[in-house]
Amino acid sequence: MPLLKLQNSLTRRKEEFKPIDPTHVRLYACGPTVYNFAHIGNARMAVVFDLLAGLLRTLYPKVTYVSNITDIDDKIIAASKECGDPCESITSKYADIYNRDMASLGVKAPDIQPRATQHIPQMIALIQKLIEKGHAYEGQGHVLFNVPSFPAYGGLSGRSRDDQIAGARVEVAPYKKDPADFVLWKPSTPDQPGWDSPWGRGRPGWHIECSAMAEKHLGLPFDIHGGGADLKFPHHENEIAQSCCAEGYLNDLSSFAKVWVHNGFVTMNTQKMAKSEGNTRLVHDLLQDYDGETLRLALLSAQYSQPLDWTENLLQQTKKTLDRLYQALRELSDIAPDKNEDFENNPVLEALCDDLNTPKAIAALGQLAKTAAQSKSPKDKAALIAGAQLLGILQKNADEWLGYGQESADVDAAKIENLLQQRQDARKEKNFARADEIRKELTDMGIAIEDTAQGPVWKKI
């Protein structure tokens, strides 16, 4: 098997991936805050880490992939106030929609999808530990992490202290010892969701949930922590601070997670796609016009760490790429793939092992399709299928994808089948004039016929 190399944000180097335990690789990626429909920028994270999890499963015997759902957050509370529905019904509705949308993009459910509200006791225990060790303090019902107590703070993002304060848009509050300190716990008013705690009824700050849930489900340290590049600061920086300080590893930022992988932004006209920019494209809207595989492959068309510009042209080109790949697969429908073909020398695997180089992997898959379509060899077909499997595409029936034999509202399939039979009969009787006549009749109906080894097939033009 090729060696896996990943760009580690923590060391700022592309490194050979060496699992802590080669018999069990552990991966965590920060999931969505669920109060709205996911846009395609949100989906990039899900697709990238689904790809990475799948690749790890090819390379290692056991992988645990954890990706959380944030179901307690001030934005959720604000959404609840606005629409009048309780927070729980908003979060369960949008978590379901998120999972359905991601499944349409070929994203497999993570092994564990923990929800923040189901881990409050773990968060409280972690906060207590931080208070005991002098890294956190209480003030007016709030508990804050004291940033100056962790001199290594800022090592992931490389931000200076001034940048940290400016970047976190910190509010000055009387209960804060230092402007960079961040909230671990805050009080809830009676109309806000809250849990009893040693500091009164309240709710967790956002960052503590990932520290608590990663530790509970993966143990520390674990192998890979992922998320969008916008989470690097402050969210991931704060996760590291909480977990390293609670465990007493003040000088080793990798004692929480060894490798940090960040996916780049999806942009529209080079501007980051974000709700606040008002330029989002929602996954569930895009699925009305495009198959999930097209969206998935479009999301993988740029290497994950690079920005990806989302355009209509990208979608059309991607659809054409998939059409070509399915066409090759269709031409190989009579060939049984060689069962003994392994992944070992698959060029798609090789490209993915090079820091998930998806543009190279997609090009390699195109080449595999070309080779297989020409050679018609079971070995080449197996390599094509294995490569597609790694990318999570070509999972549908080629005939259906290409529109062969498909019924639609304005097509009378029974009538077409009947005409095709008459045409076959005419040809058997060598009545070619009649056969041509029927073909013309079908063409006029907007139906194309293709003669194959298994007999004629038709599709709507």
Q: Which stretch binds Zn ion (CB under 5 A): 45-53, 149-157, 185-193, 202-210?
A: 202-210
Rounded least distance, CB 237 to Zn ion, Å: 11
Check if the beta carbon of residue 16 is closer than 8 Å to that of residue 270: no
Binders of Zn ion among 26-45, rule CB under 5 A? 30
In whole angstroms, how close is the CB of 56 to Zn ion at the nearest point? 19
Smallest gap from Cβ 114 to Zn ion, in A, equals: 11
Minimum CB separation of residue 210 from Zn ion in Å reads 3
User: Of 203 and 439, which has the nearer Cβ to Zn ion?
Assistant: 203
Q: What is the CA radius of gyration of the chain?
A: 27
| Minimum gap (Å) between residue 357 Cβ and Zn ion | 26
Task: Please identify, using beta-carbon distances, which residue of 30 and 47 lies nearer to Zn ion.
Answer: 30
Nearer to Zn ion by Cβ, of 36 and 242: the residue is: 242
Segment holding 131, helix H or strand E? helix 120-132
CB of 176 to Zn ion, least distance (A): 23
What stretch of H or E contains 263?
strand 257-263
Residue 297 within binding range of Zn ion, rule CB under 5 A: no
Closest CA to 101 of 278, 299, 272, 282: 282
Residue closer to Zn ion (CB basis): 7 or 67: 67
7 vs 33, beta carbon nearer Zn ion: 33
Q: Rounded to whole angstroms, how far apart are CA atoms 106 and 43?
A: 11
Relative to beta strand 202-204, strand 142-145 is: unpaired
Q: How many residues bind Zn ion (CB under 5 A)?
A: 2
Task: Quote the least distance from Cβ 96 to Zn ion, whole Å.
Answer: 21
Closer Cβ to Zn ion, 122 or 318, answer by number: 122
Q: For residue 33, give the DSSP letter.
A: B
Is residue 141 within 8 A of residue 199, CB to CB? The reply is: yes
Residues 219-238, interacting with Zn ion (CB under 5 A): none
| C-beta of 30 vs 361, nearer to Zn ion | 30
- Report the largest interatomic distance among the alpha carbons of the chain, rounded to a whole angstrom: 95
Question: How many CB atoms sit inside 10 A of residue 156's CB?
Answer: 25
Q: Is 298 in the site for Zn ion (CB under 5 A)?
A: no
Specify whether the CB–CB gap between 75 and 33 falls below 8 A: yes
**Strand positions, DSSP E, 30-120:** 63-67
Q: Which two tokens stand for residue 135?
A: 């890294």
> Considering the complex, what minimum distance in angstroms separates the CB of residue 208 from Zn ion?
10
Q: Mention every residue, 6+ apart, whose C-beta is less than 8 A from residue 118.
A: none
Binding mask 132-161 for Zn ion (x = CB under 5 A): ------------------------------
- Name the minimum Å distance from CB 242 to Zn ion: 11
**210 binds Zn ion per the rule CB under 5 A:** yes
Residue among 228 and 337 whose Cβ is closer to Zn ion: 228
Q: How far is the CB of 282 from Zn ion (least distance, A)?
A: 23
How crowded is the C-beta side of 284, counted as CA atoms within 13 Å?
Answer: 10
> Minimum distance from CB of 298 to Zn ion (Å)?
26
Distances (CA, A) of 294 to 115, 210, 313, 326, 392: 30, 31, 12, 12, 11
For Zn ion, give the closer residue by CB, 153 or 401: 153
Candidate ranges 23-31, 129-137, 144-152, 386-394; the one touching Zn ion (CB under 5 A): 23-31
279, burial (CB in 10 Å: exposed 0-12, middle 13-18, buried 19+): middle
Residues 155, 159, 164, 167, CA torsion sign? negative
CA distance 113 to 233: 23
Q: In terms of CB distance, is 211 or 318 closer to Zn ion?
A: 211
Cis peptide before 221 (omega within 30 of 0): yes
Check binding of 393 to Zn ion (CB under 5 A).
Answer: no
Which of these segments, 135-143, 204-212, 245-253, 378-386, binds Zn ion (CB under 5 A)? 204-212
Output DSSP code: residue 111.
S
Of 213 and 356, which has the nearer Cβ to Zn ion? 213
Among 34-42, 84-92, 139-147, 207-215, the segment contacting Zn ion (CB under 5 A): 207-215
Span of 194-202, 206-214, 360-368, 424-432 interacting with Zn ion by CB under 5 A: 206-214
Point out which residues pair with 272 in neighbouring strands.
Answer: 267
Interface segment toward Zn ion; rule CB under 5 A; list 22-30, 194-202, 335-343, 355-363? 22-30
Contact in structure between 2 and 353 (CB atoms under 8 Å)? yes
Question: Which residues of this protein are in contact with Zn ion, per CB under 5 A?
Answer: 30, 210
